[in-house]
Structure 1
Amino acid sequence: HRKMYALKIQNGWIIEAQRKKVYIDTRISAEAGTTTVSYKWHALFLITELVAYIPYFMLGDAHYNILMISLFLCSVLISTLSLVFHAFINKSERHVYSMDSKLNLIVNNSMKKYKSIAMLLLSGLNAVAWIYVALYTGITGIFPASSYYVYIFIQLIAGLGFIVPIYMGLNRKKELLSANTSPIDVDDDEYWKTGYYYNPDDKHILIENRMQSGNYTFNYAKKGAWIFTGITGAIIAGCIILVLVCMLPLINIQEKITLTNNNLTISAGGYKNEIVIDDIKEIKLLDALPDDDFIKINGASTDSYDIGRYEGRTLGKCSLYVFDGYSPILMIKSDDTLVFVNSKDDGEIERLYGELDK
């Protein structure tokens, strides 16, 4: 951008008459905020998503809390952003393309319609994905891998539901403007010469990208754009750090088993179970995990280990601290806890079993 602008200056290709012009079509401005597709539908999606989460909030199930909260918050975030951008599009689509005011109105209303449909499809299908997970888990009491696949599939359809109307709208816009007999040209290269948009005279923070009108970019002459970018950058950096902090304990799993007079504590990879010895109902040495379909609820599973919170179709909720290829496995069962644990250290599980079996 800098080189192209410098070349333009060098060769005198700046059109001064067009350089500072700002065209306003009062007919388009009067239509700002109106659309045939209301953004209020997003409120219905948000309410439905909230209602679907209420049972999990009331039950406070520790096994599902992290998982369900994460999916719920993602759904609410997508629907909220869709609502905000839908409302923004209704007000911001007032571009002047031609001296023909009627053509301007048709193009702006067409883009409003297609972009609004895109936002509604994204928000609505996103809500369907979350509601499916909430209903299935609430009815069956489990969250199998198949539910993940269905959730991901619906979200992919939501993505297509967003992209296809945008693509159709851009094609329609191109078709309408191809018949434009009195186009308006404004030389705005000066504002893009740094590679991003910088125009102190433009009051807008968000504007259409000059290369693709389906995208939006910031006007970095406004403090709000820098603040938003800074906050977003900080959040992204924080998320990366959080992921690294959460993943580091899982890179080199260190299992710790502590037995005191009245408590047994088992921890590994950031997960922990504390069991009161007097509450233990059954202990058993096993050569391998029971033949059950264990589903990971909140944990880590690799070719080397299974650590964290799981659920078996017959055994129900349990915690696994199991390294693949090591035996025996100790099953510890109390009134509200079922734990399977083994160790890489020879004889440690046998010693623990002997202590607990006294």
Structure 2
Amino acid sequence: MTLDLILGSAILIALIAFYFDNNTATKVKNGVVLGVTLPYSEIKNNEVLRIVDEYKKGNKRFFLIGIIIFFPISIINYPSLKMIYLFVWIFFMEILSYKLFGKYNKRLKTLKRENEWFISQARLLTIDTEVTRLKDKMPVSPLWFIPSLIISIIPIIMVIINKDFSFGLLISASTGLVGTITFMILYRLYCKKPTEIYSEDSKVNIAYNLIYKRMWTMGTVVAATVQSIGMIFVFLPMTLNSNSVVLLILSAVIPMTVILVGIYYINNKVTEEQNRLISTSSNPIYVDNDEYWFRDIYNNPNDTRYIVEPRVGYKMTYNLGNKKGRRIFYGSYIFAAILIIGVSIMTLRLDFKKMSIEVLNQIVKIEAPSYSFDFNVDEIEEIKIIDSIKVNLRTNGAATDKYAIGYFNVEGYGNCRLYIYDKNNKFIRVKLKDGEYIFISGTSKEETNKYYKLLTENSK
């Protein structure tokens, strides 16, 4: 149930992000709509508006399809298969999104070709020295990241000074810091983005680039702060022995929602202000680069930039016509594929490779995915069946509604090893002479009794 709530929340956020990302294609940006450059005089052409309207309806159907095809995840019993289904769902929605855009992008390009709505300039080579001189003053100060860095470090300090310190808990506490660093990297990318020239008037160019860099760098600062606060509220319930699923979900969903809304607002605001500047400029420079673009994929060997502003969507994109751009673009996909495959294999092992316990030559061997353990029977001080335990915190392990494997903080016992495959079953409590506790529960009452008998007979 908990995993379903978390996945449901994640999918809702992903769907909303998909929908608004697709919808940015309908907003006129520097004369571009649905990824096609049009003369400003034809933006309101009836045929153009009809194609845009049909695309909007298609995007709504896309949203509905996304909801429908996600429902089967609720009838899947294994967490690993749920995760794999989620990855497949995201992959399918990405393909569907590209097909949706490609269909209407192609129709608008055909309309443009039939009406010969071409703009003479193919590339922009103009350099505005005044804009170049002022480009480093356009982003907000990086000192604004200090609050989020301080907030992100608080959980790490709490873990280090805690007597139940563990490496797994330290990794969990570092999530906020990793998020802040990620937004700092995005900040640097926005800062390093080359200034662009859209008018022969330096004042217009300065204002155009200032709006973009100022708002997006401020956005990364706000996002870093929001996520660091959110991670605090995710982490604190763990240290306060609270198992509130609702609080955990809200702590993740609310910051993510705020960030997505912020991205949507900034994109619309930047586009609106930039369009206003260009439309009021007496000598704008129009550029037709359609041949180098498909959605957010840019391939222009004549452009030395490796990172560019997208025509569709919110994220920055890379120039595949540039060697550095290709390395980053393909490298990110390879990294994502390796990560997804690794997570899938790990979760499959946790679900389908069950625990086994055997005693060989006075050595108790507990075989479990990623958390195997063995000890001498002479180390056993006590073995007892108990009805229940209260797990306060996972410090380094895997846990779902069904099982808990690895290191956990258990109320009254401190950090313990858990090998629990049925949380509604009784538990074997093994106390070692060094004070460490091990809790064991098989997939059934019979399996638990079998392990209890095995351990008691060999510890006599």
- In which range does the TM-score fall when normalised by the shorter chain? 0.7 to 0.9
Q: In the TM superposition, what is the alpha-carbon distance from 1:246 to its structure 2 partner?
A: 0.8
Change (3 A) 1:167 1:192: closer
Match of residue 312 from structure 1: 410
Are 2:173 and 2:235, in contact at CA under 8 Å, matched by a contact in 1? Answer: no
Unaligned runs of 5+ in 1: none
Q: Which amino acid aligns with 1:331?
A: R
Q: In the TM superposition, what is the alpha-carbon distance from 1:187 to its structure 2 partner?
A: 1.8
Match of residue 240 from structure 1: 340
Q: In the TM superposition, what is the alpha-carbon distance from 1:318 to its structure 2 partner?
A: 2.7
Are 2:416 and 2:437, in contact at CA under 8 Å, matched by a contact in 1? Answer: yes
Matches within 5 A, 1:1-358: 14-15=118-119, 17-35=120-138, 37-42=140-145, 45-46=148-149, 49-50=152-153, 52-54=155-157, 56=159, 64-70=166-172, 72=174, 74-92=175-193, 94-131=195-232, 140=240, 142=241, 144-145=243-244, 148-149=248-249, 151-153=251-253, 155-156=255-256, 157-192=258-293, 196-211=297-312, 214-286=314-386, 288-290=387-389, 292=390, 295-297=393-395, 298-303=397-402, 305-324=403-422, 329-334=427-432, 335-343=434-442, 344=444, 348-356=450-458, 358=460
How far apart, in 2, do the equivalents of 1:39 and 1:48 lie?
16
How far apart, in 2, do the equivalents of 1:315 and 1:198 lie?
60
Q: In the TM superposition, what is the alpha-carbon distance from 1:26 to its structure 2 partner?
A: 2.5
How far apart, in 1, do the equivalents of 2:392 and 2:154 lie?
29
Q: Which amino acid aligns with 1:321?
A: Y
Q: Which amino acid aligns with 2:365?
A: T
Larger radius of gyration: 1
* Count of residue pairs brought into register by the alignment: 349
Q: In the TM superposition, what is the alpha-carbon distance from 1:252 to its structure 2 partner?
A: 1.7
- Percent of aligned positions that are identical: 24
CA-to-aligned-CA distance 1:189-214 (integer Å, 9 cap, x gap): 232279832222211111112345x4
SS at match of 1:275: strand
How far apart, in 2, do the equivalents of 1:329 and 1:313 lie?
15
Are 1:329 and 1:349, in contact at CA under 8 Å, matched by a contact in 2? Answer: no
Are 1:197 and 1:220, in contact at CA under 8 Å, matched by a contact in 2? Answer: yes
Q: Which amino acid aligns with 1:69?
A: I
SS at match of 1:118: helix
Of structures 1 and 2, the one scoring higher in RCO (CA 8 A, sep 6+) is 2
SS at match of 1:33: helix
Change (3 A) 1:183 1:226: same
Further displaced range: 308-317 or 220-229: 308-317
Unaligned runs of 5+ in 2: 1-104
TM-score normalised by L of structure 2: 0.64
Are 1:39 and 1:87, in contact at CA under 8 Å, matched by a contact in 2? Answer: no
How far apart, in 2, do the equivalents of 1:24 and 1:144 lie?
58
Change (3 A) 1:348 1:110: same
Q: Which amino acid aligns with 1:258?
A: E
Q: Which amino acid aligns with 1:186?
A: V
Change (3 A) 1:43 1:296: closer
Greater share of helix: 2
Q: Which amino acid aligns with 2:438?
A: V
